[in-house]
Structure 1
Amino acid sequence: MKVEISVPEVVSIFKEIQQKPGNIFEMIRVEIKESVGQYLTKLMDLERTEFLGRQWYEHAQGDVNHRNGSYSRNFTLKGIGAVKVEVPRDRKGEYETRIIPRSKQYEVELRQDLSLMFLTGVSTRSLSMMSERLIGRKVSPTEVSNANKELIEAVEKWRTHKVYFFGRC
Protein backbone atom coordinates (compact mmCIF):
# COMPACT_ATOMS: atom_id res chain seq x y z
CA MET A 1 0.00 0.00 0.00
CA LYS A 2 1.43 3.33 -1.06
CA VAL A 3 0.43 6.50 0.76
CA GLU A 4 0.99 9.78 -1.02
CA ILE A 5 0.81 13.05 0.85
CA SER A 6 1.84 16.50 -0.31
CA VAL A 7 3.96 19.00 1.59
CA PRO A 8 1.08 21.49 2.07
CA GLU A 9 -1.02 18.68 3.62
CA VAL A 10 1.77 17.85 6.08
CA VAL A 11 2.17 21.54 6.98
CA SER A 12 -1.58 21.92 7.61
CA ILE A 13 -1.61 18.81 9.82
CA PHE A 14 1.33 20.12 11.88
CA LYS A 15 -0.32 23.53 12.27
CA GLU A 16 -3.52 21.86 13.47
CA ILE A 17 -1.55 19.79 15.99
CA GLN A 18 0.25 22.90 17.26
CA GLN A 19 -3.03 24.77 17.73
CA LYS A 20 -4.82 21.89 19.46
CA PRO A 21 -2.33 19.27 20.73
CA GLY A 22 -5.11 17.12 22.20
CA ASN A 23 -6.46 16.46 18.71
CA ILE A 24 -3.54 14.19 17.88
CA PHE A 25 -4.80 11.62 20.39
CA GLU A 26 -8.28 11.76 18.85
CA MET A 27 -6.74 11.25 15.40
CA ILE A 28 -4.80 8.24 16.72
CA ARG A 29 -7.95 6.77 18.33
CA VAL A 30 -9.93 7.10 15.11
CA GLU A 31 -7.12 5.54 13.08
CA ILE A 32 -6.80 2.61 15.51
CA LYS A 33 -10.56 1.95 15.41
CA GLU A 34 -10.56 1.95 11.60
CA SER A 35 -7.50 -0.33 11.45
CA VAL A 36 -8.96 -2.81 13.94
CA GLY A 37 -12.27 -2.82 12.04
CA GLN A 38 -10.47 -3.52 8.76
CA TYR A 39 -8.39 -6.26 10.41
CA LEU A 40 -11.46 -8.02 11.85
CA THR A 41 -13.27 -7.71 8.50
CA LYS A 42 -10.31 -9.28 6.69
CA LEU A 43 -10.13 -12.12 9.24
CA MET A 44 -13.82 -12.90 8.78
CA ASP A 45 -13.44 -12.76 4.99
CA LEU A 46 -10.59 -15.28 5.19
CA GLU A 47 -12.73 -17.43 7.47
CA ARG A 48 -15.54 -17.38 4.87
CA THR A 49 -13.07 -18.32 2.12
CA GLU A 50 -11.98 -21.29 4.24
CA PHE A 51 -15.64 -22.21 4.84
CA LEU A 52 -16.48 -22.13 1.12
CA GLY A 53 -13.32 -24.05 0.20
CA ARG A 54 -12.25 -21.85 -2.69
CA GLN A 55 -10.74 -18.46 -3.48
CA TRP A 56 -12.40 -15.44 -5.11
CA TYR A 57 -13.49 -16.09 -8.73
CA GLU A 58 -12.68 -19.79 -8.43
CA HIS A 59 -15.47 -21.91 -9.90
CA ALA A 60 -16.74 -25.21 -8.53
CA GLN A 61 -18.91 -27.94 -10.05
CA GLY A 62 -22.44 -28.67 -8.92
CA ASP A 63 -24.76 -26.95 -6.46
CA VAL A 64 -22.30 -24.98 -4.36
CA ASN A 65 -22.48 -22.06 -2.01
CA HIS A 66 -21.27 -18.61 -3.09
CA ARG A 67 -20.19 -15.36 -1.49
CA ASN A 68 -23.06 -12.94 -0.98
CA GLY A 69 -21.56 -9.63 0.12
CA SER A 70 -21.55 -8.45 3.72
CA TYR A 71 -23.45 -6.38 6.24
CA SER A 72 -22.18 -3.65 8.56
CA ARG A 73 -22.34 -3.82 12.33
CA ASN A 74 -20.61 -2.35 15.34
CA PHE A 75 -18.74 -4.42 17.89
CA THR A 76 -17.34 -2.90 21.08
CA LEU A 77 -13.85 -3.93 22.19
CA LYS A 78 -12.23 -3.30 25.55
CA GLY A 79 -9.70 -0.47 25.35
CA ILE A 80 -10.75 0.50 21.82
CA GLY A 81 -14.48 1.15 21.85
CA ALA A 82 -17.06 0.66 19.12
CA VAL A 83 -15.52 -0.67 15.91
CA LYS A 84 -17.34 -0.86 12.57
CA VAL A 85 -16.91 -4.22 10.84
CA GLU A 86 -18.27 -5.78 7.66
CA VAL A 87 -19.54 -9.28 8.40
CA PRO A 88 -19.41 -11.47 5.26
CA ARG A 89 -22.35 -13.63 4.13
CA ASP A 90 -22.85 -16.62 1.89
CA ARG A 91 -25.72 -17.25 -0.51
CA LYS A 92 -27.23 -20.17 1.43
CA GLY A 93 -26.88 -18.50 4.83
CA GLU A 94 -24.82 -21.38 6.24
CA TYR A 95 -21.69 -19.39 7.11
CA GLU A 96 -21.49 -18.01 10.63
CA THR A 97 -18.33 -16.32 11.85
CA ARG A 98 -16.62 -17.51 15.01
CA ILE A 99 -14.62 -14.30 15.37
CA ILE A 100 -17.54 -12.09 16.41
CA PRO A 101 -20.48 -13.92 17.99
CA ARG A 102 -23.74 -13.30 16.14
CA SER A 103 -25.86 -11.78 18.91
CA LYS A 104 -23.11 -10.16 21.01
CA GLN A 105 -22.52 -6.43 20.86
CA TYR A 106 -19.34 -6.37 22.93
CA GLU A 107 -16.54 -8.74 23.86
CA VAL A 108 -16.63 -11.06 26.88
CA GLU A 109 -13.92 -9.21 28.84
CA LEU A 110 -15.96 -6.01 28.69
CA ARG A 111 -19.01 -7.88 29.97
CA GLN A 112 -16.95 -9.27 32.85
CA ASP A 113 -15.67 -5.80 33.74
CA LEU A 114 -19.21 -4.42 33.81
CA SER A 115 -20.25 -7.29 36.09
CA LEU A 116 -17.33 -6.66 38.45
CA MET A 117 -18.14 -2.97 38.67
CA PHE A 118 -21.76 -3.84 39.40
CA LEU A 119 -20.69 -6.26 42.16
CA THR A 120 -18.57 -3.58 43.79
CA GLY A 121 -21.66 -1.41 44.17
CA VAL A 122 -21.85 0.73 41.05
CA SER A 123 -25.50 1.04 40.00
CA THR A 124 -26.71 -0.01 36.56
CA ARG A 125 -27.65 3.58 35.79
CA SER A 126 -24.18 4.83 36.75
CA LEU A 127 -22.57 2.10 34.65
CA SER A 128 -24.70 3.14 31.72
CA MET A 129 -23.56 6.77 32.03
CA MET A 130 -19.89 5.83 32.50
CA SER A 131 -19.83 3.38 29.60
CA GLU A 132 -20.33 6.07 26.98
CA ARG A 133 -17.39 8.03 28.34
CA LEU A 134 -15.11 5.00 28.74
CA ILE A 135 -15.85 2.89 25.66
CA GLY A 136 -17.61 5.32 23.34
CA ARG A 137 -20.87 3.38 23.46
CA LYS A 138 -23.73 3.69 25.91
CA VAL A 139 -24.55 0.36 27.52
CA SER A 140 -28.18 0.42 28.66
CA PRO A 141 -29.08 -0.47 32.26
CA THR A 142 -30.95 -3.51 30.86
CA GLU A 143 -27.78 -4.76 29.14
CA VAL A 144 -25.86 -4.37 32.40
CA SER A 145 -28.55 -6.32 34.26
CA ASN A 146 -28.54 -9.08 31.64
CA ALA A 147 -24.75 -9.34 31.84
CA ASN A 148 -24.99 -9.70 35.61
CA LYS A 149 -27.69 -12.38 35.76
CA GLU A 150 -25.40 -15.38 35.49
CA LEU A 151 -22.85 -13.80 37.82
CA ILE A 152 -25.51 -13.08 40.43
CA GLU A 153 -26.80 -16.67 40.13
CA ALA A 154 -23.28 -18.05 40.70
CA VAL A 155 -22.71 -15.80 43.73
CA GLU A 156 -26.11 -16.74 45.16
CA LYS A 157 -25.41 -20.45 44.67
CA TRP A 158 -22.07 -20.12 46.45
CA ARG A 159 -23.58 -18.01 49.24
CA THR A 160 -26.36 -20.49 49.98
CA HIS A 161 -24.40 -23.73 49.66
CA LYS A 162 -24.21 -25.93 52.74
CA VAL A 163 -21.04 -25.86 54.76
CA TYR A 164 -20.03 -28.91 56.76
CA PHE A 165 -17.57 -28.64 59.62
CA PHE A 166 -15.46 -31.60 60.62
CA GLY A 167 -13.76 -31.57 63.97
CA ARG A 168 -11.38 -33.84 65.80
CA CYS A 169 -11.80 -34.58 69.43
Structure 2
Amino acid sequence: MTANTSIDPAEFLHEQLTTASPDLLRDMLTTFIQALLSAEADAVCGAPYGLPSSERVNSRNGYRHRDFDTRAGTLDVAIPKLRSGSYFPDWLLERRRRAERALTTVVATCYLLGVSTRRMEKLVETLGITRLSKSQVSVMAAELDEAVEQFRTRPLDAGPYTFVAADALVLKVREGGRVVNVHALVATGVNGDGHREILGLQVTSAEDGAGWLAFLRDLTARGLTGVRLVTSDAHAGLVAAIGATLPGASGQRCRTHYAANLMSVTPKPPGRG
Protein backbone atom coordinates (compact mmCIF):
# COMPACT_ATOMS: atom_id res chain seq x y z
CA MET A 1 0.00 0.00 0.00
CA THR A 2 1.23 3.53 -0.78
CA ALA A 3 0.73 6.86 0.90
CA ASN A 4 -2.27 9.09 0.39
CA THR A 5 -1.79 10.77 -3.00
CA SER A 6 -3.91 13.80 -2.08
CA ILE A 7 -0.93 15.55 -0.48
CA ASP A 8 1.15 18.02 -2.47
CA PRO A 9 4.50 16.25 -3.08
CA ALA A 10 6.43 19.52 -3.47
CA GLU A 11 4.99 20.87 -0.22
CA PHE A 12 5.79 17.57 1.52
CA LEU A 13 9.43 17.71 0.38
CA HIS A 14 9.63 21.40 1.33
CA GLU A 15 8.48 20.61 4.85
CA GLN A 16 10.87 17.68 5.10
CA LEU A 17 13.81 19.73 3.83
CA THR A 18 13.02 22.58 6.24
CA THR A 19 12.51 20.49 9.37
CA ALA A 20 14.89 17.62 8.78
CA SER A 21 17.90 19.29 7.20
CA PRO A 22 18.06 23.11 7.34
CA ASP A 23 21.71 23.04 6.29
CA LEU A 24 20.75 21.22 3.10
CA LEU A 25 17.97 23.68 2.32
CA ARG A 26 20.29 26.65 2.96
CA ASP A 27 22.94 25.19 0.65
CA MET A 28 20.42 24.47 -2.10
CA LEU A 29 18.82 27.91 -1.78
CA THR A 30 22.23 29.59 -1.92
CA THR A 31 23.25 27.57 -4.98
CA PHE A 32 19.99 28.39 -6.77
CA ILE A 33 20.02 32.09 -5.88
CA GLN A 34 23.65 32.60 -6.92
CA ALA A 35 23.08 30.81 -10.21
CA LEU A 36 19.97 32.88 -10.86
CA LEU A 37 21.69 36.18 -10.01
CA SER A 38 24.62 35.32 -12.26
CA ALA A 39 22.36 34.33 -15.15
CA GLU A 40 20.25 37.47 -14.82
CA ALA A 41 23.35 39.70 -14.66
CA ASP A 42 24.60 38.03 -17.85
CA ALA A 43 21.25 38.80 -19.47
CA VAL A 44 21.59 42.48 -18.47
CA CYS A 45 25.15 42.58 -19.86
CA GLY A 46 24.11 40.90 -23.09
CA ALA A 47 26.76 38.17 -22.85
CA PRO A 48 28.03 35.53 -20.41
CA TYR A 49 30.61 36.52 -17.79
CA GLY A 50 34.15 36.79 -19.20
CA LEU A 51 33.13 35.89 -22.76
CA PRO A 52 33.93 38.42 -25.57
CA SER A 53 30.84 39.19 -27.62
CA SER A 54 29.70 41.85 -30.09
CA GLU A 55 26.33 41.83 -28.30
CA ARG A 56 27.84 42.82 -24.94
CA VAL A 57 26.49 46.12 -23.57
CA ASN A 58 27.98 45.98 -20.07
CA SER A 59 30.37 43.91 -17.94
CA ARG A 60 30.75 42.67 -14.36
CA ASN A 61 32.71 44.54 -11.70
CA GLY A 62 32.85 42.41 -8.56
CA TYR A 63 30.10 41.72 -6.04
CA ARG A 64 28.32 43.29 -3.11
CA HIS A 65 27.11 41.09 -0.28
CA ARG A 66 23.63 41.28 1.22
CA ASP A 67 21.95 39.20 3.91
CA PHE A 68 18.79 37.41 2.84
CA ASP A 69 16.69 36.12 5.75
CA THR A 70 14.78 32.89 5.15
CA ARG A 71 13.04 30.28 7.29
CA ALA A 72 16.11 28.10 6.75
CA GLY A 73 18.42 30.81 8.13
CA THR A 74 20.24 33.90 6.88
CA LEU A 75 21.96 33.50 3.52
CA ASP A 76 25.00 35.49 2.38
CA VAL A 77 23.98 36.57 -1.13
CA ALA A 78 26.68 37.91 -3.50
CA ILE A 79 25.00 40.33 -5.93
CA PRO A 80 26.98 41.05 -9.14
CA LYS A 81 28.02 44.67 -9.72
CA LEU A 82 28.24 46.25 -13.18
CA ARG A 83 30.86 48.65 -14.57
CA SER A 84 28.19 51.06 -15.75
CA GLY A 85 24.78 51.48 -14.19
CA SER A 86 23.55 49.08 -11.55
CA TYR A 87 21.95 45.68 -11.27
CA PHE A 88 19.45 45.25 -8.46
CA PRO A 89 17.40 42.03 -8.20
CA ASP A 90 14.18 43.53 -6.89
CA TRP A 91 12.43 40.16 -7.34
CA LEU A 92 14.59 38.87 -4.48
CA LEU A 93 15.31 41.79 -2.20
CA GLU A 94 12.24 44.04 -2.37
CA ARG A 95 9.56 41.37 -1.93
CA ARG A 96 11.51 39.20 0.47
CA ARG A 97 8.79 37.12 2.03
CA ARG A 98 7.04 36.28 -1.23
CA ALA A 99 10.35 35.67 -3.02
CA GLU A 100 11.64 33.39 -0.25
CA ARG A 101 8.45 31.36 -0.28
CA ALA A 102 8.61 31.03 -4.08
CA LEU A 103 12.30 30.09 -3.99
CA THR A 104 11.88 27.34 -1.42
CA THR A 105 8.99 25.93 -3.46
CA VAL A 106 11.13 26.04 -6.61
CA VAL A 107 14.04 24.30 -4.90
CA ALA A 108 11.83 21.63 -3.35
CA THR A 109 10.15 21.01 -6.69
CA CYS A 110 13.52 20.74 -8.43
CA TYR A 111 14.70 18.26 -5.82
CA LEU A 112 11.59 16.14 -6.13
CA LEU A 113 10.98 16.19 -9.88
CA GLY A 114 14.41 16.82 -11.34
CA VAL A 115 15.84 19.93 -12.94
CA SER A 116 15.38 19.65 -16.70
CA THR A 117 15.92 22.83 -18.71
CA ARG A 118 12.27 23.16 -19.65
CA ARG A 119 11.06 22.65 -16.08
CA MET A 120 13.64 25.08 -14.69
CA GLU A 121 12.54 27.71 -17.20
CA LYS A 122 8.92 27.41 -16.09
CA LEU A 123 9.85 27.50 -12.41
CA VAL A 124 11.96 30.62 -12.86
CA GLU A 125 9.01 32.30 -14.58
CA THR A 126 7.02 31.86 -11.35
CA LEU A 127 9.40 34.43 -9.87
CA GLY A 128 8.52 36.92 -12.62
CA ILE A 129 11.82 36.48 -14.49
CA THR A 130 11.35 36.01 -18.24
CA ARG A 131 14.49 37.44 -19.85
CA LEU A 132 16.83 34.50 -19.29
CA SER A 133 18.07 32.62 -22.35
CA LYS A 134 17.76 28.88 -22.71
CA SER A 135 21.53 28.49 -22.35
CA GLN A 136 21.47 30.41 -19.06
CA VAL A 137 18.60 28.26 -17.80
CA SER A 138 20.60 25.16 -18.78
CA VAL A 139 23.57 26.35 -16.72
CA MET A 140 21.32 26.98 -13.71
CA ALA A 141 19.74 23.54 -14.07
CA ALA A 142 23.15 21.88 -14.26
CA GLU A 143 24.45 23.68 -11.17
CA LEU A 144 21.41 22.81 -9.07
CA ASP A 145 21.38 19.28 -10.44
CA GLU A 146 24.95 18.86 -9.21
CA ALA A 147 24.00 20.06 -5.72
CA VAL A 148 21.04 17.66 -5.63
CA GLU A 149 23.18 14.74 -6.79
CA GLN A 150 25.78 15.46 -4.10
CA PHE A 151 23.04 15.34 -1.47
CA ARG A 152 21.48 12.14 -2.82
CA THR A 153 24.82 10.31 -2.87
CA ARG A 154 26.37 11.81 0.28
CA PRO A 155 27.83 9.52 2.96
CA LEU A 156 25.43 8.80 5.81
CA ASP A 157 28.02 9.48 8.50
CA ALA A 158 25.86 11.15 11.16
CA GLY A 159 24.68 7.86 12.66
CA PRO A 160 23.80 5.74 14.35
CA TYR A 161 20.35 6.10 12.76
CA THR A 162 18.39 4.31 15.48
CA PHE A 163 14.91 5.07 14.09
CA VAL A 164 14.04 5.02 10.39
CA ALA A 165 10.74 5.64 8.60
CA ALA A 166 10.19 4.40 5.04
CA ASP A 167 7.29 5.12 2.72
CA ALA A 168 6.40 5.74 -0.93
CA LEU A 169 4.63 8.59 -2.71
CA VAL A 170 2.77 8.07 -5.98
CA LEU A 171 3.51 10.86 -8.48
CA LYS A 172 2.38 11.56 -12.01
CA VAL A 173 5.14 12.38 -14.51
CA ARG A 174 5.31 12.83 -18.27
CA GLU A 175 7.27 10.07 -19.95
CA GLY A 176 7.45 9.35 -23.66
CA GLY A 177 4.62 11.75 -24.44
CA ARG A 178 2.22 10.27 -21.88
CA VAL A 179 1.47 10.70 -18.19
CA VAL A 180 2.40 7.74 -16.02
CA ASN A 181 2.56 6.97 -12.31
CA VAL A 182 5.92 6.56 -10.62
CA HIS A 183 6.77 5.79 -7.01
CA ALA A 184 9.12 7.98 -4.98
CA LEU A 185 10.68 5.90 -2.23
CA VAL A 186 11.59 8.06 0.77
CA ALA A 187 13.52 7.19 3.92
CA THR A 188 13.81 9.51 6.92
CA GLY A 189 15.93 8.75 9.97
CA VAL A 190 16.87 10.12 13.38
CA ASN A 191 20.62 10.69 13.41
CA GLY A 192 23.11 10.52 16.25
CA ASP A 193 22.36 14.14 17.24
CA GLY A 194 18.66 13.39 17.60
CA HIS A 195 17.62 15.32 14.48
CA ARG A 196 15.49 14.05 11.62
CA GLU A 197 17.34 13.67 8.35
CA ILE A 198 16.22 12.69 4.86
CA LEU A 199 18.38 9.65 4.17
CA GLY A 200 17.45 9.18 0.56
CA LEU A 201 14.89 9.45 -2.21
CA GLN A 202 14.67 7.20 -5.25
CA VAL A 203 12.11 7.09 -8.06
CA THR A 204 10.97 3.70 -9.37
CA SER A 205 8.35 2.58 -11.88
CA ALA A 206 6.64 0.38 -9.29
CA GLU A 207 6.65 -0.08 -5.54
CA ASP A 208 7.88 -3.66 -5.40
CA GLY A 209 10.35 -5.74 -3.43
CA ALA A 210 13.14 -5.23 -5.97
CA GLY A 211 12.81 -1.45 -5.81
CA TRP A 212 12.83 -1.35 -2.01
CA LEU A 213 15.74 -3.79 -1.86
CA ALA A 214 17.86 -1.67 -4.24
CA PHE A 215 16.93 1.50 -2.33
CA LEU A 216 17.83 0.12 1.11
CA ARG A 217 21.03 -1.43 -0.22
CA ASP A 218 22.05 1.98 -1.51
CA LEU A 219 21.41 3.49 1.95
CA THR A 220 23.49 0.84 3.73
CA ALA A 221 26.28 1.21 1.16
CA ARG A 222 26.36 4.94 1.93
CA GLY A 223 26.74 4.23 5.65
CA LEU A 224 23.29 3.64 7.16
CA THR A 225 24.02 1.78 10.42
CA GLY A 226 22.67 1.30 13.91
CA VAL A 227 19.03 0.93 12.85
CA ARG A 228 16.94 -0.65 15.59
CA LEU A 229 13.38 0.26 14.54
CA VAL A 230 11.85 0.81 11.10
CA THR A 231 8.36 2.30 10.79
CA SER A 232 6.56 1.52 7.54
CA ASP A 233 3.36 0.19 6.05
CA ALA A 234 2.75 -3.53 5.59
CA HIS A 235 4.01 -3.72 2.00
CA ALA A 236 5.39 -7.25 1.69
CA GLY A 237 8.30 -6.22 -0.54
CA LEU A 238 9.37 -3.48 1.87
CA VAL A 239 9.14 -5.77 4.90
CA ALA A 240 11.27 -8.39 3.14
CA ALA A 241 13.81 -5.77 2.01
CA ILE A 242 14.16 -4.49 5.59
CA GLY A 243 14.87 -8.01 6.81
CA ALA A 244 17.48 -8.55 4.09
CA THR A 245 19.37 -5.27 4.50
CA LEU A 246 18.87 -4.27 8.14
CA PRO A 247 19.32 -7.47 10.19
CA GLY A 248 18.38 -7.04 13.83
CA ALA A 249 16.06 -4.09 13.18
CA SER A 250 12.51 -4.39 14.48
CA GLY A 251 9.53 -3.37 12.38
CA GLN A 252 6.59 -1.21 13.42
CA ARG A 253 3.37 -0.70 11.49
CA CYS A 254 2.66 2.94 10.67
CA ARG A 255 -0.48 3.96 12.57
CA THR A 256 -1.70 6.16 9.72
CA HIS A 257 -1.59 3.30 7.23
CA TYR A 258 -3.08 0.90 9.78
CA ALA A 259 -6.01 3.26 10.43
CA ALA A 260 -6.55 3.69 6.68
CA ASN A 261 -6.60 -0.11 6.24
CA LEU A 262 -9.18 -0.44 9.00
CA MET A 263 -11.39 2.31 7.57
CA SER A 264 -11.31 0.71 4.12
CA VAL A 265 -12.93 -2.48 5.44
CA THR A 266 -15.21 -0.94 8.10
CA PRO A 267 -18.86 -0.60 7.04
CA LYS A 268 -20.07 2.98 6.93
CA PRO A 269 -22.98 4.02 9.18
CA PRO A 270 -26.40 4.17 7.45
CA GLY A 271 -27.08 7.45 5.74
CA ARG A 272 -23.45 8.30 5.03
CA GLY A 273 -22.01 8.21 1.53
Please indicate the TM-score interval, normalised by the length of the shorter structure: 0.3 to 0.5
When Rg is computed on C-alpha atoms for both structures, the one with the higher figure is: 1
Q: Tell me the TM-score normalised to structure 2 length.
A: 0.26
- Which structure shows the bigger proportion of residues in helix conformation? 1
- Which structure shows the bigger proportion of residues in strand conformation? 2
